[in-house]
Amino acid sequence: MPSYDPNNIFAKILRGELPCYKVYEDDKVLAFLDIMPRSPGHTLVLPKAPARNILDIGADHLTHVVATAQKVAKAAMKAFSADGITIHQFNEGAGGQVVFHLHVHVIPRKAGVTMKPPASEKEKPDVLAEHAKKLAAAIEAA
């Protein structure tokens, strides 16, 4: 497996070199909205530690990422009046991974509504800003 590339796009977001629609942050993780959401509120949860994917992350960091994904999922159920949550996490190109800094997708779902295809449509900035604010408030209130 290739080594971690510190110039991947999520590493740049973590360093503050690129913007994101942040919904949660602590000393070990950052969570922000996917700019091409598969459904409203689609969120990515990342460790701050430099890990390419599940194959090289330390178990302690992975545990915190999963706990944060749970926190986001519970808040998203309320914030987006969801009926369920889909969790995705891809590893290496053959596993569907496109950006090589570990991330967990948290995707709120409505009964009977299919997800958009991956990376099919960039959401409008004002919609993403409003969704991030709503989800951040629900996480804060939990």
Q: Kindly list the residues in this chain that would bind ligand AMP in the complex (CB under 6 A).
A: 9, 20, 34-36, 44, 90, 96-99, 103, 118-119
Find the shortest distance in angstroms from Cβ 105 to ligand AMP. 6
Alpha helices (H) along 28-124: 59-79
Q: Which of 131, 141, 140, 137 lies closest to 33, judged by CA? A: 131
CB of 128 within 8 A of CB of 21? yes
Find the shortest distance in angstroms from Cβ 96 to ligand AMP. 5
Residue 26 neighbours by CB distance under 10 Å = 11
135 CA to centre of own chain: 12
36 vs 62, beta carbon nearer ligand AMP? 36
Please tell me whether residue 117 adopts helix, strand or coil conformation: coil
Which residue among the candidates 42, 64, 101, 103 is catalytic per the annotation? Answer: 103
62 vs 99, beta carbon nearer ligand AMP? 99
129 vs 141, beta carbon nearer ligand AMP? 129
Find the shortest distance in angstroms from Cβ 85 to ligand AMP. 16
Q: Is residue 88 among the annotated active site residues?
A: no
Please tell me whether residue 26 adopts helix, strand or coil conformation: coil
List, by residue number, the catalytic residues: 103
